[in-house]
Amino acid sequence: MKKLLIFCLLLIANCQLASAQCAMCRSTVESTLSDGRYVNGSGLNTGILYMLATPYLAVAVVGYLWWRSSRRARDKRLAISRQVRGAMN
């Protein structure tokens, strides 16, 4: 546990600033808006929506797989308990 904590702290301390991309995207959107067309801006918005939806989709898939696994395990337990009850009667 202590090694994991040290690893996480080192990982957080090693973060790099990456704000240059935001300025580039902003200048691209501003230049296309000044021309009167909004093609690049809508593409950037679509990319942002994909990046926003990806973590939620990943959590939903993991949650569904977990739910399905627990449901199958519960069904197996119920089947075994029915067999035991049937054998005892």
How big is the chain by its Cα radius of gyration, in Å? 26
CB atoms within 10 A of CB 55: 9
Q: Using alpha carbons only, what angle is made at residue 19 by residues 60 and 42, rounded to the nearest 5 degrees?
A: 60
pLDDT digit string (tens) for 42-54?
677 777 788 888 9
| DSSP 8-state code for residue 37 | -
| 10-residue averages of pLDDT along the chain (89 residues) | 89 71 69 65 74 92 96 94 87
Q: Please, what is the average pLDDT of the chain?
A: 82
